[in-house]
Chain A
Amino acid sequence: MNKKKLVMIGNGMAGVRTIEEIIKIAPEQFDITIFGKEPYPNYNRIKLSNILQGDTSFEEIIINTVDWYKENQIQLYTGEAVTQIDTELKRVITGKRVVEYDELIIATGSNSFILPIPGADKKGVSGFRDINDCEMMINSSKQYKKAVVIGGGLLGLEAARGLLNLGMEVDVVHLLPHLMERQLDPIASSMLKRELESQGMNFLMEKQTVEIVGEERVTGLRFKDGSEVDADLVVMAIGIKPNIEVAKNSGIYFNRGIVVNDFMETNIANVYAVGECAEHREIVYGLVAPLYEQGKVLANHICGIINAPYEGSISGTQLKVAGVDLYSAGEIFEDETTQSIKVQNEFDGVYKKILIRDNQIVGVVLYGDTKDSTKLFRMLTKKEDISGMTSVSILQAQEETGDIGSMPNDELICGCNGVTKGVIVDAIQKQGLTTLDQVSHCTNAGRSCGRCKPMVSQILAHTLGDKFDAAAAHKISICGCTTLSRDEVVAEIKEKGLTSVKEIMNVLGWKTEEGCTKCRPALNYFLGMIYMDEYKDERDSRLVNEKMHANIQKDGTYSVVPRMYGGVTTAQDLKKIAEVAEKHHVPLVKLTGGQRIGLFGIKKEDLPTIWEELDMPSGYAYGKTLRTVKTCVGAQFCRYGTQDSMALGIELEKKFERLDTPHKVKMGVSACPRNCSEAGIKDIGFVGIDGGWEIYVGGNGGVDLRPGDHLMTVKTQEEVMEMTGAYLQYYRETAHYLERTSKWLERVGLDHVRVVLANEETRKALNARMDKTLQKYVEPWNEAIQNEEIQEKYYTNHTILVGSESK
């Protein structure tokens, strides 16, 4: 049987969702071809705001990978726009080819609306629609300072927040007196404005831009009132314009968008439109929830399944800006036929307004506290009769932990994808789902803006009850090269006895030939952790710093930081360092934050010589390993010292140096609670007290500052060594690669770790594995000095004189 040919123009969110639905219903029915103008597979456009705000990366927002298209035998042409549709001969035409169709879906989305004013085509003026726009803004922020966003709606404010995060000064220009006037009433909108002002946004309200000034690149804006403002970057976020170019000359009927009926059919047979390019009952939708509903109806229809028509949608709006909690759905203004319930609590910054007509909720505006949004939205869409309810019960905030059990089954959990609690529970039970990822895959909940994920996860926990395993539920794959999680990979290595990075990739079906910078170092670590002293480390699977045993700097030179155990040095060592620095004209000699001396700006060819002349062990200032053990002078000199902190610090550093760990590990030892070594913000910290040591764990002084938790108090130095060994080994065996102890401890729980360490047998076993591992390490600088092969491979630059050799 010849399959029907289904062609889709546009490779975006609504279109590809429609294809997903079609494949679910009838995997074999069509030969599918998709044309996408952008050079990427389908990605989550919604998350562009998050990219700009620095919360995620481009790779993470890909919804359908190139492999997904392959697996489903979809012919994908990216970077290729359809320029013409020939509805007579039923074919589409691009610059490169002509493709025939039996059924055609137009899903071309929309474009940013660019104001038709002089100067709008200058360099530095952009919309906010795709990866390209986003990159342009990110690049501009590196060179320029001042951004102006035109438009105080959802998109404009999200763009403005992103640009602030990128370090730019941001003005937001808005034509009307109130921000987000289509979703908020004046009270909520002024609360929003105040919050955003406190975040650093500057607003120019009631200003109409009439010209963009500048030479080749924009330098400013001029307004109708004659005033001007400087700008190095202008982002227009005033609205969207359905992208109907290809439909225009083909006899397809259009108005603002491509006009479709309740089954997404255009006026031409076998041609459909879906998404932001489609106009349904005179409405063009600009949020994914209604578009996904359209996609579902269209998928059923195209597959020949009789289903309910699409009759339009009401959707709720939220703003993806940190520190702002707002929600709006339905009508926003009172009139003679409405009654309203309002709560305004300026002190807490909370405002709620519910509009009621004929005993039904017709509008919701929430600011500062949106916990009730799902409940109110359900009441609104279901047109529930609220005559028996009191205003308090309507507005009553559900507890934060929300009683999932008492939540009705038809409560909408994922607004973007229209997924209710009932659907999620059903999928979990019938399909035996145990992870958030699986729930997302089977129900689509959480696949768009991601806001509903915490709620989905609560439902998962509630539904599974005792069987719920939090760690497993939030499984994430190691990187884009595999779908396996850290735990699965480690289990497979052990079970199948895999012994090399290459073998793991082959046997476990890696999607790339030789992995990437995320998985290769991780796999190399796992192998070394599992096989202890037997595994031969794969140096070329380590990233530059660990491979070179020195820290690369921005210009390609390196730093050299020798060990200074416990921060204790000698006059002799200081002299040696001074001599080397002088002899080699080392550009910078600096005391590091880890109580030792660093030599910075050294050429890679000079590293071995410098190491040789220093004749000191590597301080591993570059490694995922023990960095420094910072100590205070302690009982040997200090009048308050109760313990010998320097001696313990040196013993710890000598024992655990060079050990591979999932992320770097730092320690601090103080001899009294005054804590001059800052032991409270180290991965492991020790504080001497009369007759013992307090042990603190999970401290961090870096990105997410976290004080350590008191793990236990022990009496002797031997106990300190035993606990530290067991604790570190347990971290080595259970953490994700690149998970600092602070994050790890929060994930697995302090109590859990206490239970593990309380068992003497376990402690012994952990320490035995630790000791076995520690045997394998050799001093890397010395190794490089001794070994010519290493020098030739890693530390040589070959200068070739031209002339004689050339022919």
Chain B
Amino acid sequence: MHGVRGTEHRSARRRPRARTRFARVARHWREYLCIAPFFVLFAVFFAYPIVWAFVLSFQRWDGVTAARWVGFDNYAFVLRDPVTRQVFVNTAIFLLLLVPLGLILPLAFGVILNQPFLRLRGVFRTILFIPVVTSTVVVGIVFRLLFGSANGWLNGLVAQVGLGPYPWLKDASWARVSIVALTTWGRLGFATLIVLGGLQAIDQEIHDAARVDGASAWNVFWRITLPLMRPVMIFLLITSTIGVMTLFSQPYVLTRGGPSNATLTPLLHIYTIGLGGAGGGRIGDASALSFLLSAVMVLVAFVQLWATWGRSAEP
């Protein structure tokens, strides 16, 4: 009896709180209405497709006929698929090449553009940013001509000094180099602007004080600028890693994943088997691979955060 009374007592306590919460929401209905569009759009265009794709990852569906439940068959297939292994190996190689470049080059360009003596800074910034706003398709055509084997512009250039020709897009290693070049070229401007923003946010007085204390330019950079830039660099590290793991347009326009799948990335493979390129129709397999990729990305991001957060928290 006591227990029942206790339960009644608890639910009696809960009800007014729920009523209060509802009353609070009702009281602020105009404010909630103002922020509702975001949540509605998020629910329709993000949450619902994600949930639907998760459901599809357990179904066989060609996009036309009724979907059929197949349990974990799609996951089992993509996990034993040699192409899946190949795309993750490719991603690891691109991570090793592109992430360091995505940190070092913007930092170098940012530092150069931040020098007070540099003239025409706006022009240089614009030049660096042009690739960000250039159509990837157009860039892809230009880069294909640039990296062509027989009559490629780059081979023509290196021939002037007695080198080449190099199979830029035909050999696995060279094709990866070409993708790295295109990706780095395309992303450098944006990353440099981020770095530049970080550099300009550092209080100049800290640098001045260090110089008064006799610190060399290198010491100022290494011991003051770089540690203060840590949050920006962590941001770049994580966004660059995610960017590499979701690489699509560069291999799509330049190599279509070739030669022999050496530049095939997870997203390009997902697109090819799910919707286009290879005929499409394996939407279940594509969904399963999407969720495997998401799991890997979350894992990598956690590892990066864990590894860098601890250090940044150090005094």
The finding on whether chains A and B are genuine partners in a shared complex, rather than unrelated, reads no
